């Protein structure tokens, strides 16, 4: 019997791409995974189009594999994900060594595309197929899993924010049926998963359950050995009453929420086509904290959006001061071809740089302050893996803080009560209660 072919996948971007990469590897059943491209029979780049110069970074990465391709003519190289969707056939024109290009809605067709590439033909599929890709993917293998897992429940976005390419690369909002999600979640739990993070480009727009995302969360909470539920990423306009209530009455839904606002100025929010105001956002936060006072919030911020004045930026800083974030992601605005904001007059890079530094300094200060305040408190930690030091285990608190504990008895999957004794730059140290 010949040895199985080896597959190397490099994943860019969000948690949804991490999940997609897992499903791609499962779809290519004739391959086993490898951690290095050097001994791979197929290299697959699962790309993201959100960050600045995303396509150029992919082309640069492909350039590194020219030598491998020359040494191994049978090596197949593929590009998947959102850059594949946006660039399509152009990828093969710019990098003729690429054998396969597949968009994020078509990767269930990978086996046929791989076979076509193996026959010496170029394989391209960037359609938005009518069939549900999840229905056509193979059943997930029964291998043992770690204690945490991602589970995609919704894809695409109908919001059309002026800075974002997601509606063009992932398509319209589509929700998976709740019964299929619950079935996949049960399968994950049977294999050792104790915490599931529900994923979607706009996850709280989920409509595959008659009661929306809150209904799905409550259905998942009935799985006995599933201990924790999280979801990301959300839009303020889809935080409905039932979902807000779930943060107060669903014990398994963790007190951590990623709720991007992007800017604090109503003028900039309107120009971004966010379809909410700063006061709308504040009202949602107040309602969430009313039902769950210990809720930790995370957010996204874009600085230097076209037409942003110093006064607009000051309103963003004011919003951050008022909300107080446990963590956040912040970026300079960069153009995405085909989006409305790309056609507008751009701010100087020096202005963007200076504002980003001020904004990040405030966010880091808040994050550190909230983390330091955890010292002396008791949290529940789901342990995931050994730490860097002998006898150390690392896990996550309900607030998503990384927590280190010295213990010779802990194993991955243990959920234990821990008293926090020290706050470090990016993690907490605790002792078992």
Question: DSSP assignment of 210-253, as one string?
Answer: TTHHHHHHHHHHTSTT--EEEEE---GGG--HHHHHHHHH-TTB
| Cβ-based neighbours of 12, under 8 Å, separated by 6 or more | 45, 46, 47, 48, 54, 57, 58, 81
**Residue 142 has what pLDDT?**
64
**Cis omega (within 30 of 0) for bond into 233:** yes
pLDDT confidence tier of residue 51, bands split at 50, 70 and 90 = low
Q: Candidates 3.40.50.300, 2.40.30.160, 3.60.150.10, 3.40.50.12160; correct CATH number of 5-125?
A: 3.40.50.12160
pLDDT confidence tier of residue 16, bands split at 50, 70 and 90 = confident
345-372 residues labelled b (16+ CB within 10 A) or e (exposed): ebbeeebbeebbeebeebbeebbeebbe
**Residue 212 has what pLDDT?**
98
| Cβ-based neighbours of 7, under 8 Å, separated by 6 or more | 25, 28, 31, 32, 33, 34, 40, 41, 42, 44
**Residue 57 has what pLDDT?**
86
Domain parsing of the chain, residue ranges: 5-125, 133-372, 378-432
Using DSSP's 3-state secondary structure scheme, residue 208 falls into coil
Per the annotation, where are the binding residues?
A: 14, 48, 82, 157, 161, 164
**Residue 139 has what pLDDT?**
66
**Residue 108 has what pLDDT?**
86
pLDDT confidence tier of residue 172, bands split at 50, 70 and 90 = confident
Do the first three CATH levels of 5-125 and 133-372 match, i.e. the same topology?
no
Segment 421-426 shows an average pLDDT of: 94
pLDDT confidence tier of residue 54, bands split at 50, 70 and 90 = confident
Instruction: Give pLDDT tens digits for 315-363.
Output: 999 999 999 999 999 999 998 878 999 999 999 999 999 999 999 999 9
Between helix 241-249 and helix 212-221 the angle, nearest 10°, is 30
Statement: residue 149 has pLDDT above 70: yes
Statement: residue 225 has pLDDT above 70: yes
**Residue 152 has what pLDDT?**
93
**Residue 171 has what pLDDT?**
84
**Longest pairwise C-alpha distance within the chain:** 69
Statement: residue 297 has pLDDT above 90: yes
d(CA 231, CA 10): 24
**Residue 169 has what pLDDT?**
81
Best mean pLDDT range from 12-16, 20-24, 202-206? 202-206
d(CA 386, CA 406): 10
Statement: residue 301 has pLDDT above 90: yes
Among 294, 262, 289, smallest CA distance to 278 is for 262
- Residue 256 pairs in a beta bridge with 296
Best mean pLDDT range from 109-113, 114-118, 377-381? 377-381
CATH architecture of 133-372: Alpha-Beta Horseshoe (3.80)
| Cβ-based neighbours of 276, under 8 Å, separated by 6 or more | 236, 237, 269
Instruction: Give pLDDT tens digits for 30-41.
Output: 899 999 999 999
pTM for the whole thing? 0.82
**Residue 140 has what pLDDT?**
65
Strand order in the sheet with 296-303: 256-258, 296-303, 327-332
Statement: residue 2 has pLDDT above 70: no
Write the CATH number of the domain with boundaries 378-432: 2.40.50.140
Candidate from 9-23, 193-207, 212-226, 255-269 with smallest mean pLDDT = 9-23
pLDDT confidence tier of residue 132, bands split at 50, 70 and 90 = low
The answer to whether 62 and 45 are in contact (CB under 8 A) is: yes
Per the annotation, where are the binding residues for [4Fe-4S] cluster?
A: 14, 48, 82, 157, 161, 164
Burial of 240 (0-12, 13-18, 19+ CB in 10 A): middle
Statement: residue 79 has pLDDT above 70: yes
């Amino acid at each position: 019997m010949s040895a199985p072919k080896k597959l190397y996948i490099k994943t860019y971007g969000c948690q949804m791409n991490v999940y997609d990469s897992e499903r791609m590897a499962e779809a290519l059943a004739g391959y086993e995974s490898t951690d290095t491209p050097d001994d791979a029979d197929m290299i697959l780049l699962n790309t993201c189009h959100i960050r600045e110069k995303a396509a150029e970074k992919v082309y640069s990465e492909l350039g590194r594999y020219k030598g491998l391709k020359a040494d191994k003519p049978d090596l197949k190289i593929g590009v998947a994900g959102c850059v594949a969707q946006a660039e399509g056939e152009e990828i093969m024109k710019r990098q003729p060594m690429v054998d396969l290009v597949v968009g994020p809605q078509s990767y269930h067709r990978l086996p046929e595309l791989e076979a076509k590439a193996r026959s010496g033909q170029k394989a391209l599929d960037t359609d938005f197929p009518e069939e549900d890709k999840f229905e056509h993917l193979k059943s997930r293998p029964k291998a043992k899993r770690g204690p945490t897992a991602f589970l995609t429940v919704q894809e695409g976005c109908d919001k059309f924010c002026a800075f974002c390419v997601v509606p063009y690369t992932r398509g319209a909002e589509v929700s998976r049926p709740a019964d299929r999600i619950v079935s996949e979640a049960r399968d994950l739990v049977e294999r050792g998963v104790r915490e599931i993070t529900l994923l979607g480009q706009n996850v709280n727009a989920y409509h595959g359950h008659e009661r929306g995302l809150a209904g799905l969360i409550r259905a998942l909470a009935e799985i006995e050995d599933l201990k924790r539920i999280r979801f990301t990423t959300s839009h303020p306009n889809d935080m409905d009453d039932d979902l807000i209530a779930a943060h107060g009455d669903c014990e398994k839904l963790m007190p951590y929420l990623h709720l991007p606002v992007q800017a604090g100025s109503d003028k900039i929010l309107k120009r971004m086509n966010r379809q909410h105001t700063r006061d709308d956002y504040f009202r949602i936060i107040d309602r969430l904290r009313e039902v769950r006072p210990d809720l930790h919030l995370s957010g996204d911020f874009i600085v230097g959006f076209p037409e942003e004045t110093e006064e607009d930026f000051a309103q963003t800083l004011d919003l951050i001061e008022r909300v107080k974030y446990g963590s956040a992601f912040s970026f300079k605005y960069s153009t995405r071809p085909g989006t409305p904001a790309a056609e507008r007059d751009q701010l100087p890079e020096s202005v963007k740089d200076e504002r980003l530094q001020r904004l990040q300094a405030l966010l880091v200060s808040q994050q550190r302050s909230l983390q330091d305040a955890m010292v002396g408190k008791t949290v529940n930690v789901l342990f995931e893996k050994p730490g860097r030091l002998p006898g150390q285990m690392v896990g996550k608190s309900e607030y998503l803080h990384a927590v280190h504990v010295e213990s010779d008895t802990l194993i991955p999957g243990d959920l234990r009560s821990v008293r926090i004794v020290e706050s470090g730059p990016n993690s907490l140290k605790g002792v078992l209660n």
